Each structure stands twice: as structure tokens, then as C-alpha cells.
């Protein structure tokens, strides 16, 4: 199979050596905040069924417009040649999905003024519009027979057609009265206030002219979102191999939606002739990502514990012949992030967090035995063709690109190098994973990145980054908000620790943070920093700042009162300050109720035990506080309260508020401002003078 392969850029320095890589005899420039923001990003790779063509999405940053723009690209893996742009990116084109003929590509585009389905093929020439609906299309899949599209749209479930929903939405927008009335929760979710609509799953039959007909709501009047909000996509539903039915994951809302993780799999005929049937009613926990094998057997991901969103996702398998289901990976102590199937029908694919990496595994359908295919860096996504797997893969060594892995074995081949020109001129810090004895003498892992300009005998200040989640990882990944290389390029040695509660080290390790937010993790952070300072003497332990967001922001607020003399400065982004008001103002209540062992009013003990607000009298470390006003997960009043406490205590502090950002900072200009504000804060406190912490005024 002829493919265009790009050689990975090799470092000119071995890990143990100290130097800055050279370009044509001159030192490479450091990797900057502006570099990070303008990087091209590849995502959503899609192989055609015959394995010849690879379509994918590429995002490019428009700094003047202050937003990213997405376009579709194509690689001919058998014909050779480089990537070819399919769409101009002016209108945001996304979600490429191949028809079974491997020649017709359906996708979503905003070129008409709303998100609709379009299609491309060699025979068509220019893109042809497929849908012309009064509502935005949110996701799509093509049926195995290419006669139907499955797609999602936000509707009022009680409406008989799309026009009814459009009329009601337009009337609300035109009304002079601005009040919103609610009679149950999830009045707002992530960064959006509820307008009463639900994302429903439709099918639309394709006519001889390629246009989609009147959509049929196969979810009917279900009080549920398909896909789930806010981040669900077409992985939440699947066509059966014969194209006769759809299986989808959904949680019935009712009044319990904010404290329930009970997603079930439902099966419905594609013509909407019968109500959806619950296939997993016996499991009160989460069932997700239905995937059909070639013989009609159904695989999916399942959790066992209701209310725990970070429970282990294991693989279930349901026989098409008998209807019986069995746990396929019950004994595998890994939580699957993304499930897929090989065309041979004998193997599944799964990505899992594992020891600071996100690995790709093949799972034997007969035995459930996993086989590691890729284990270094982060496999963010993958797609499967007849004889190959293509993965989107990145690491601390560089941003994501696409790679081909032959299904029958062979070396990994690089397909894209979309940021070659920029990255070839930049020096990235050498990095390595380390381990130490953390809480209870258990092994804990972390990562270290060397600073730009590292030289033996010279000591460097330290950026100590604490990840969020808390069930997450500070692993070998390329991050666009908390990128360790950006801090290293600014002259900091960067240390991150996967404390107890992190993912990828077995479910018991992940479970261990629940009910103990300020206990084991704090010990791990204390002992991890000490271990790094001992192992890497070039780290200057007298010049350290701690930084974190979300749970990491909580930990910054917790450190202020429970480890107050260790750091010269702290950066707290979107962090929990008062657990009581956090419970009563957040949206996904299942999270605090699991983590703190109940509701606040029934079981306030752990909320108060690990409540940073109770330790303000110990605060003394200068802190930069950052929050987004559209953050409904941890409302911005939490950040205002942190700043109030600091100011009233007379502690050096600064508040940065983003009116239009949510739990993350996404807009390019805001990202640049965020990074410079954080780096300026670190620079102002990590100078060469000895640390002399002063007691705050009372």
C-alpha cells in the first residue's frame, strides 16, 4: 500500500544531555503561547470502507476573527500524494462520514447559514446540499445500505414536526419578555441555559437525487437527549448491519436527571414504526457507545456503579442469535474510553488510559483477551478500514498527527505533519516519566519537562501543575490549555503528578480519591514534589509555584490553607472554594453526591472536611484567581469568593475574569491573554531572591 510518510522530527539531544537543538547551526526558538494557539489541529479521521481514502478535519486559527475554522482534508492512501483540501474552511465543515461505496462523503457544514448535511464525490464535483431543515443538524451517520441518514436535532419532544420547534424558538427569541420558567433541574448545563429542547435521533431517507426526505424521529417522544449533552456525538448511536434498526444510548430525564448516570441502550426500527425498546434495563449504571460486529452481535461499554461517572467502563457483548449478554472484559482492570470494531468481526478496538499514556488495544471477541497495539503517547481517536487502522496520536513531544498501523502488523507510518514548518523551528523540552512512593508507600507516577536553555549546573524555577478531573491524568499528551511545553519554553522546569484518583493505574487507584479530596492526593503532591527535587537537583526548590484548574483549582485553594508555606505563588483556575454552595449551584449533582458520599443536607461531613473556605485563616500565599463567567460546572461566584478572601486577608492577589468563557478558555485571544497572565504571575514571583513568606494582615 503506497502511502505518503512523514519522518518524525528527531531530537538532536539525548534525554540525558543538556542542550538546545539547532537549526542550520543556530539555536531553535522556544515554543511560545502564540505558537500553541495557531497550531493546526487534526481530528475525526475517517477511512473509507475499501481502505483507500482517509478524510479528516483540520482546524486552523483565525486570529483576526478570534476563532477556529474547520475544513475537510483527504489522503489517497493507495494512489499516493499529499493531503488535499476538500473544503475551504470558511464555513466550518466537520463530521466527514463515508457511504458504503467508499466514494461518497457526507459531512456537516454551516455554509448555508445553519448546520446541514452536504455530500461530496468525484462524480458530483462541487458539494451538494443533502438536508434543508429549519433546525441545525448536530451529528450524522450513514446507513449500511446508504439509503438512510441517521442524524440528531434539538426539538421540543411534544412537537409533531420540525416546523413546530422552529416556530416556538423564533417566538421566544422575538418576545420582549426575557424571563425563563423551569419546573425541574438542569436549568443550565456546562455553559448553556436550557430552552426546553431535547436532542433527538432522526432518520431521513435519501432520494434518487441524493436529497434527504422528511425526517422521522425514531426516539419519538422520549424525554432524553440523543446524543447526550454536552459532549455526546455519533458514538452514542449505531446502525445494525442490515440497516433495519438503530441502537442508541440515552438517559431518561425526569426530575432525577442531574443526579443520575443511568444511561441505557435502546433499540428502535429506522422507520419509527415502534417505540424504542430498552436493552439494558437491568443495569442501573451507565451503558454507552453501542458497536455492532459484522454478524450482528452488539458490543458496548458499561459501568457497574450508579452515580459514579468515573467508574470503570468495561466491554459487554450481546449475541444476535440468542439475545444473551456477557461481560467480555470483566477481569481487565482498565477503563475503556473509545470502543470500535474491526471489519473481520473477531476483534474490537479500545483506547484506555494506562500508566500516563492513552494506549490502543485490540480485544479478542471470543476470549476477551486484550492485545496492546500502541502504548506510547496519546491515541485520541482512530478509524478502521479493510486492512489498516489510522490513529490520531500526540504526546509531550508534539501535537497530534495521523498515523497508519497495518492491521496485520508492521511499523507505524506517519501520514500527516500539519505543523511541520512551525515545529521544525521550535525547541521542545526533553521529558521523562518518574515514579516515587506516595501515600501509604504506594507507587505514584509523574512527568517532568526540562526548561528551554537547560544547562548543567544551573538551577531553574519550577511550575508544579495539578490536573483536574479529579479522575484525570497529567500524562504524555499534547494539551491546548495546560501544555507543559509552554511553561518549559518560558524557562521553567515543569512537574506534574498523577496522584491517587488519577486514571490509568487501575480502578482501585482511581476510586481512592472519592471521599478523600484533600487527603491522599495532597500527600502524593507533597511527596511527588519532594521526589522530583531530589531526583533532579537542577530544579530550584526555593522557587516553585503551584497551578491547577477545576479539581486542580480546588487543590490550589486547599493548599492555601493546608500547605501554606511551600510555594511562592499559586494560580487557581475555576476552583471550588466553598463546598456547600458548590453543591447547591453546580448542575451535575451526581458528581458531588458520589465524591462526598451523599447530598449536602443529608451528609455534610465530607463537604465540610474538605472545604477550602474553612481554612482561610491559614492563607498567606500570593494567588492569581481565574474564572469564566459562563462556567456553570463551578460557577464564577466561587472564584469571586476566593479573591474576596485573599483581598480581605491582605494577601497579594489578582483576579482575571472571562465574561464569555466556560470551564475552559477556548477563544484564541482569551487563550493568549490567559497564558501571558499566568506566566507574568509566575515570573513576578520566581525571581532569584530567596523566598521570604510574610504573614498576611488580618
Global confidence as pTM: 0.94
Confidence of residue 638 (pLDDT cuts 50, 70, 90): very high
* 549 CB-side CA count, 13 A: 18
Q: Does 62 fall in a domain?
A: no
User: What pLDDT digit, counting tens, does each position of 234-279 carry?
Assistant: 999 999 999 999 999 999 999 999 999 999 999 999 999 999 999 9
User: What pLDDT digit, counting tens, does each position of 367-398 carry?
Assistant: 999 999 999 999 999 999 988 999 999 999 99
In sequence order, the β-bridge partners of residue 203 are 150, 216
Q: Does 401 fall in a domain?
A: no
Q: Measured in whole angstroms, how far is the alpha carbon of residue 307 from the centre of its chain?
A: 20
Residue 488 main-chain phi, psi, to 5 deg: -65, -40
pLDDT value for 12: 26
Q: Is the pLDDT of residue 14 over 80?
A: no
Helix (H) or strand (E) holding 38: helix 33-38
Q: Does 371 fall in a domain?
A: no
**What's the average model confidence in pLDDT over 13-22?**
38
Confidence of residue 23 (pLDDT cuts 50, 70, 90): low
pLDDT value for 697: 44
Q: Is the pLDDT of residue 323 over 50?
A: yes
- Cα→Cα distances 201→94, 158, 179, 216, Å: 19, 14, 29, 8
Name, in order, each residue with C-beta under 8 angstroms of 248's C-beta and a sequence gap of 6 or more. 201, 219, 226, 227, 236, 237, 238, 265, 266, 268, 276, 290
Q: Does 631 fall in a domain?
A: yes
**What's the average model confidence in pLDDT over 17-23?**
46
Range of the domain at 633: 429-685
Show the 3-state SS of 134-187.
CCCCCEEEECCCCCEEEEEEEECCCCCCHHHHHHHHHHHHHCCCCCCCCCCCCC
Confidence of residue 8 (pLDDT cuts 50, 70, 90): very low
Q: Is the pLDDT of residue 131 over 80?
A: yes
Q: Is the pLDDT of residue 15 over 70?
A: no
Pair 264, 278: CB distance under 8 Å? yes
SS3 531: helix
Confidence of residue 618 (pLDDT cuts 50, 70, 90): very high
Q: Does 287 fall in a domain?
A: no
| Owner of C-alpha cell 425541574 | 184
- Cα→Cα distances 372→229, 348, 601, Å: 31, 12, 46
Pair 135, 122: CB distance under 8 Å? no
Confidence of residue 22 (pLDDT cuts 50, 70, 90): low
pLDDT value for 24: 57
* 635 CB-side CA count, 13 A: 16
Q: How many residues does the chain have?
A: 698
User: What pLDDT digit, counting tens, does each position of 442-489 carry?
Assistant: 999 999 999 999 999 999 999 999 999 999 999 999 999 999 999 999
SS3 206: strand
Report the chain's mean pLDDT, rounded to a whole number.
94
Q: Report the C-alpha gap between 51 and 56 in whole angstroms.
A: 14
Q: Does 297 fall in a domain?
A: no
**What's the average model confidence in pLDDT over 5-15?**
31
Number of domains present in the structure of the chain: 1
Q: Does 585 fall in a domain?
A: yes
What the block records as the C-alpha cell of 6 is: 512523514
Q: Measured in whole angstroms, how far is the alpha carbon of residue 279 from the centre of its chain?
A: 28
- In 303-450, beta strands by DSSP E: 314-318, 325-327, 336-341, 347-354, 357-364, 370-374, 378-384, 388-395, 398-406, 413-414, 426-427, 431-437, 443-449
What the block records as the C-alpha cell of 326 is: 456477557
Question: DSSP secondary-structure letter at 690?
Answer: P
Q: Is the pLDDT of residue 89 over 90?
A: no
pLDDT value for 10: 30
Q: Does 508 fall in a domain?
A: yes
CATH number, domain with residue 595: 3.40.50.1820
pLDDT value for 13: 33
- In 450-602, beta strands by DSSP E: 460-466, 493-498, 539-549, 569-573
What the block records as the C-alpha cell of 617 is: 485563616
Name, in order, each residue with C-beta under 8 angstroms of 495's C-beta and a sequence gap of 6 or more. 446, 447, 448, 462, 463, 464, 465, 528, 529, 532, 539
470 preceded by a cis bond (ω within 30 of 0): yes
pLDDT value for 26: 74
Amino acid at each position: 500500500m503506497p502511502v505518503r510518510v512523514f519522518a518524525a522530527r528527531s531530537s538532536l539531544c539525548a534525554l540525558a544531555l543538556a542542550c538546545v537543538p539547532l537549526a542550520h547551526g543556530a539555536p531553535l526558538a522556544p515554543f511560545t503561547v502564540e505558537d500553541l494557539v495557531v497550531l493546526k489541529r487534526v481530528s475525526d479521521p475517517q477511512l473509507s470502507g475499501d481502505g483507500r481514502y482517509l478524510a479528516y478535519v483540520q482546524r486552523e486559527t483565525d486570529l483576526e476573527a478570534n476563532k477556529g475554522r474547520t475544513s475537510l482534508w483527504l489522503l489517497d492512501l493507495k494512489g499516493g500524494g499529499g493531503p488535499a483540501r476538500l473544503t475551504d474552511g470558511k464555513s466550518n465543515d466537520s463530521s466527514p462520514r463515508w457511504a458504503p461505496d467508499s466514494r461518497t462523503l457526507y459531512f456537516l457544514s454551516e455554509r448555508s447559514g445553519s448546520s446541514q448535511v452536504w455530500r461530496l464525490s468525484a462524480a458530483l464535483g462541487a458539494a451538494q446540499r443533502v438536508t434543508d431543515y429549519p433546525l441545525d443538524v448536530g451529528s450524522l451517520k450513514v446507513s449500511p445500505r446508504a439509503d438512510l441518514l441517521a442524524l440528531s436535532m434539538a426539538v421540543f419532544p411534544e412537537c409533531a414536526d420540525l416546523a413546530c420547534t422552529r416556530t416556538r424558538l423564533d417566538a421566544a427569541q422575538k418576545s420582549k419578555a426575557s424571563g425563563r420558567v423551569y419546573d425541574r433541574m438542569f436549568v443550565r448545563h456546562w455553559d448553556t441555559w436550557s430552552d426546553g429542547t431535547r436532542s433527538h435521533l432522526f432518520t431521513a431517507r435519501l432520494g434518487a437525487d441524493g436529497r434527504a426526505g422528511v425526517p422521522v424521529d425514531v426516539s419519538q417522544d422520549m424525554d432524553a437527549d440523543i446524543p447526550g449533552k454536552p459532549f455526546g456525538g455519533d458514538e452514542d448511536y449505531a446502525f445494525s448491519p442490515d440497516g433495519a434498526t438503530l441502537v442508541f444510548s440515552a438517559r431518561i430525564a425526569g426530575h432525577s436527571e442531574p443526579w443520575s448516570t443511568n444511561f441505557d441502550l435502546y433499540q428502535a426500527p429506522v422507520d419509527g414504526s415502534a417505540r424504542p425498546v430498552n436493552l439494558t434495563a437491568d443495569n442501573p449504571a451507565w451503558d454507552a457507545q453501542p458497536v455492532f460486529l459484522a454478524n450482528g452481535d452488539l458490543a458496548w461499554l458499561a459501568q457497574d456503579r450508579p452515580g459514579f461517572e468515573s467508574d470503570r467502563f468495561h466491554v459487554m457483548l450481546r449475541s444476535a442469535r440468542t439475545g444473551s449478554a456477557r461481560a467480555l472484559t470483566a477481569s481487565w482492570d482498565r477503563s475503556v474510553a473509545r470502543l470500535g470494531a474491526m471489519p473481520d468481526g473477531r476483534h474490537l478496538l479500545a483506547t484506555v488510559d494506562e500508566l500516563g499514556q492513552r494506549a490502543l488495544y485490540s480485544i479478542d471477541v471470543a476470549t476477551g483477551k486484550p492485545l496492546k497495539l500502541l502504548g506510547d503517547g496519546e491515541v485520541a481517536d482512530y478509524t478502521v478500514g479493510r486492512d489498516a487502522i489510522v490513529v490520531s496520536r500526540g504526546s509531550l513531544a508534539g501535537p497530534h498527527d495521523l498515523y497508519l498501523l497495518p492491521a496485520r502488523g508492521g511499523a507505524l507510518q506517519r501520514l500527516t505533519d500539519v505543523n511541520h514548518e512551525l515545529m521544525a523551528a521550535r525547541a521542545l523540552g526533553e521529558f521523562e516519566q518518574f515514579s516515587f512512593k506516595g501515600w501509604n508507600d504506594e507507587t505514584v507516577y509523574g512527568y517532568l519537562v526540562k526548561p528551554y536553555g537547560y544547562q548543567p549546573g544551573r538551577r531553574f524555577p519550577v511550575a508544579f501543575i495539578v490536573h483536574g478531573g479529579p479522575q484525570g491524568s497529567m500524562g504524555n499528551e499534547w494539551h491546548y490549555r495546560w501544555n507543559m511545553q509552554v511553561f518549559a519554553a518560558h524557562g521553567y522546569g515543569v512537574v506534574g503528578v498523577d496522584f491517587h484518583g488519577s486514571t490509568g493505574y487501575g480502578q482501585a487507584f482511581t476510586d481512592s480519591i472519592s471521599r478523600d479530596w484533600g487527603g491522599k492526593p495532597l500527600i502524593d503532591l507533597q511527596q511527588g514534589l519532594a521526589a522530583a527535587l531530589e531526583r533532579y537537583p537542577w530544579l530550584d526548590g526555593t522557587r516553585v509555584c503551584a497551578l491547577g484548574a477545576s479539581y486542580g483549582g480546588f487543590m490550589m485553594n486547599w493548599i492555601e490553607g493546608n500547605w501554606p508555606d511551600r510555594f511562592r505563588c499559586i494560580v487557581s483556575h475555576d476552583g471550588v472554594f466553598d463546598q456547600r454552595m458548590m453543591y447547591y449551584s453546580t448542575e451535575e449533582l451526581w458528581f458531588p453526591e458520589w465524591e462526598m458520599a451523599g447530598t449536602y443536607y443529608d451528609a455534610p461531613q465530607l463537604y465540610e472536611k474538605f472545604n477550602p473556605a474553612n481554612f482561610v485563616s491559614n492563607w498567606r500565599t500570593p494567588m492569581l484567581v481565574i474564572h469564566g463567567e459562563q462556567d456553570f460546572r463551578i460557577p464564577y461566584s466561587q472564584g469571586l469568593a476566593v479573591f474576596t478572601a485573599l483581598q480581605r486577608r491582605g494577601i497579594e492577589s489578582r483576579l482575571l475574569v472571562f465574561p464569555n468563557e466556560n470551564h475552559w478558555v477556548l477563544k484564541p485571544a482569551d487563550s493568549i491573554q490567559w497564558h501571558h497572565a499566568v506566566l507574568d504571575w509566575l515570573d513576578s514571583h520566581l525571581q532569584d531572591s530567596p523566598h521570604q513568606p510574610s504573614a498576611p494582615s488580618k
